[in-house]
Amino acid sequence: MQAARFPLSTGRLLRFAGAHAVLMLGAAFMLLPFLWMLLTAIRAPDEILTGGLNPIPRSLHAIENFSAALQQAPLLRFMLNGVIICGGILVIQLLVAIPAAYALAKLRFPGRGLLFAAVIGGLCIPIQVPALPIYLALAEFGLLDSYFAMMVPFFLSVFAIFLFRQTFRGFPDEILQAARVDGLGEFEILWRIVVPSALPAIAAFSIFSIVAHWNDLYWPMIVIQRMDYAPPPLGMLFFANSETGASYGVLMAGATIITAPLVLVFLLARRRFVQGITMTGIK
């Protein structure tokens, strides 16, 4: 309708400007917290306490704020914990899910239908549901406050099994047959032929898993009391609570350090992230 009334170029121009105006407004809202976090992290305390709207800091206080943040809480330790936990979870998830998914996709064995039904059922159960009994079991065996406690509920990802099964099902049976004829065992067929062909799905799942567990607060908050095991979100919670004297510059410096790794990885591997989400569609 618009295109009919205006000459084509004017209508297009208006729509172009309108779209950009709305998008820029939204983008400003999305980016404001990041911008203000960075600006406050390099601002001096007395300037923060005036509550001014001036975006440019009058004096640079970056080194003081960041070193104070690193001294007040072991932020680098939190991130090392995050790397250990995410890495451990991911490796075991892949080692458990890949063979199971292959068996469900390509092999006939007793109980296959039942297991697949259980996998589908498991998709509906978030960590908060088995949390209480798993906590009691870990407490019973004296395993609370450990990396193991933080990782164990996630060793099995039914979602990974589901996703990989869908991927493996598309693998041509003729190639599997030929490999069997050549004398390869199922183990070799899986790891040397099928897995390399499914790397995009494995990468997509890996991104999903790392983001989910790097950012998870609920479970670590339950099983971890000692700060030296805390992953980044729990560490941030300790840090935000322990922080005395309303030193927001230091708090924002800490928030910058905690958010930086995933944000940087995202900026470097944006396409992989987007692919991962459209493939898995689950947060």
Partner 1 sequence: MTTLALAPALDRVPRRSRPAREWLAGTLFVVPATVLLLAIILAPLLCLLVLSLTDYEIGALQIRWLGLGNFEKALSDPVFRRAMGNTLLYVALVLPGGVLLGLLVALLVHGRTRSRGFYEVAYFLPVTATLIAMAAVWQFLLHPKLGPINGMLKAAGFSEIAFLSEPSLLIPTLTVIGLWNLIGFNMILFLAGLTAIPRDLYDAAEIDGAGGPIDRFLTVTWPQLAPTTMFVAVTTSITAFKVFDTVAVLTRGRDGSEVLLYAIYLEGFQYFKMGYSAALTVIFLGFMLAFSVFQAFQLDRRVHY
Binding to partner 1 in span 228-247, by CB under 8 A: 232-234, 236-237, 240, 246
Q: How far is the CB of 229 from partner 1 (least distance, A)?
A: 16
259 binds partner 1 (CB under 8 A): yes
Using only C-alpha atoms, what is the Rg of the chain?
25
CB closer to partner 1 out of 64 and 247: 247
Tokens of 118: 């259980």
Instruction: Measure Cα distances from 111 to 107, 108, 114, 124, 192 in Å.
Output: 11, 9, 5, 21, 26
Q: Which string of x and - marks every residue 58-97 that binds partner 1 (by CB under 8 A)? A: -------------------------------------xxx
Which 165-194 positions form the footprint of partner 1 (CB under 8 A)? Answer: 166-167, 169-170, 174, 177-178, 180-182, 185-187, 190
**Binding residue for partner 1 (CB under 8 A) from 17, 23, 143, 199?**
23
Could you give the angle at which helices 75-106 and 158-169 cross, rounded to 10 degrees? 50
Distance CA 95, CA 36 (A): 42
Q: How far is the CB of 161 from partner 1 (least distance, A)?
A: 6
Distance CA 47, CA 270 (A): 36
Tokens of 30: 């999305």
The vertex-130 CA angle with 129 and 131, nearest 5°, equals 90
Which 101-130 positions form the footprint of partner 1 (CB under 8 A)? Answer: 102-104, 107-112, 115, 118-120, 122-126, 128-130
Q: How far is the CB of 111 from partner 1 (least distance, A)?
A: 8
